[in-house]
A and B are shown apart, each in its own frame.
Chain A
């Protein structure tokens, strides 16, 4: 098989304390050869089992997390050969309710492989990448109803390796 021009494939992996923007990350995987840009954007929920979440924060083993994210992209490229550029960006530090915590964006020649790769990448990220989420809850005083410390919990995703 021969191609008239060679496309350089970009792998973008980032863990950042800054606010992350779906638009910017989708833009970063744009390519003239792409017929599709598939994305996943994860946002933080305001509740867990009827408890009101006040704030959330993420912590990462940054070098290992970036390495694990790169390794997921390498594996995705071996499973789906139509991928052009792939970006995975995860936020750390405080992440107010409703804010974006993770974005995955994949450009591909056609939509099918891009959509499958995005789905696979977020599932694997949640199992393999060393990042942790802490939820801080709002409590209410039983008598006055005033807001009090409701405790905090390190979360665990459903599946472990």
Chain B
């Protein structure tokens, strides 16, 4: 079965209590479906997801556009950054 990976950092890692998960990939998972999948697995992510962005294969995704998950994708939850 194809999979995709989700990475958690900072407050997302604290909420999920893990730094990564593997999910089974099926055709047509949208960005909205993904948020629901994440909440089903880690209800504590609800607050973090409201202020986070997604990066897919190390590229930020436009929050105003729908996109679909591809097999093998590495998807990161990016809470507000604070480097510097």
Contact = CB atoms under 8 A, between A and B. Distances in A.
A61 B84 contact: no
A127 B9 CA distance: 16
A157 B58 CA distance: 20
Contacts, number: 75
SS of B interface (majority) = mixed
A132 B83 CA distance: 5
Interface in B28-84: 51, 53, 55, 58, 60, 76, 78-84
Contacts of B55: 61, 64, 130
Contact-size category for A: 20 to 34
B82 to A, nearest CB: 4
B76 A157 contact: no
Given A64-B58, A64-B76, A130-B78, A154 B84 contact: no
B10 A154 contact: yes
B83 A60 contact: yes
Interface residues of B, number: 19
Contact of B83 (A63, A67, A102, A160): A102
B76 A160 contact: no
Contacts of B83: 58, 60, 65, 90, 102, 125-126, 129-133, 157
Interface string A124-157: 0111111111100000000000000000001111
SS of A interface (majority) = mixed
Contacts of B5: none
9 contacts: A59-B9, A61-B9, A127-B81, A129-B81, A130-B83, A132-B11, A154-B10, A156-B79, A161-B53
Interface of B: 7, 9-11, 13-14, 51, 53, 55, 58, 60, 76, 78-84
